[in-house]
A = this chain, B = another copy of it.
Amino acid sequence: MLRRLTKEKLEEILEAGIAEFGEQGLERTSMSRIAARVGTSVGVLYKYYKDKDDFFLACVRKSLRELDEALSETICREEKLRQYAERLIEALQRHCREHPSHIRMYHELTSAGAGRFGTLLAQEIEGVSSRLYSRMLEQAQREGNMRRDADPKLFAFFFDNLLMMLQFSCCCGYYRERFRLYCGSDPEASEEHIRQELLKFLESAFTLEETEISHQG
């Protein structure tokens, strides 16, 4: 509809929004600071977006698209659960490294201040992965790669919980500090180690193949 803003400028605006929302939170982010940050006026923000909430939604959605892209290569492959999990964690770790403010903003949107978006956004964001993980684990179960007495939905839920917390622990102030308390180092200092340990943690949870058992003596 509005053409004056090049696609690049729009991307820049949204990226600035993501950065601010991630750093300051929803309330403390000011529209004029965003405008100033990219060298436009508040006017254009309000031309493209109804209000601050609308702009926030746009930022979230852009971020979501990028996450989808980052994960798309991981998802499309057919493979064993463990391999998939490893590739997924790896992709998420890279995403955290490259787009920490996206994760931060994502965390902001789970806060009470963003409660009015709650239902709407939860569906957009979690819908895909929840269905994906659930189906994946159902299949794993059928194939004997997961405890037969497990509820695949809840296991999918626990699985995603671990992935989410991993991301927050890499990008969000409070959770970074918490990670330090648990592990004594910054999360980026031992990405590989964290990934391997998480895989172990998951692997014992998901699969109990002979090879694994033999580790235990």
Contacts and interface: CB of A to CB of B under 8 A. Distances in A.
Contacts of A118: 173-174, 177
Given A155-B205, A204-B212, A122 B177 contact: yes
Contact of A174 (B114, B174, B200): B114
A2 interface: no
A150 interface: yes
A114 B150 CA distance: 38
Contacts of A164: 165
A64 interface: no
Contacts of A165: 161, 164-165
A119 B177 contact: yes
A154 to B, nearest CB: 4
Interface string A33-72: 0000000000000000000000000000000000000000
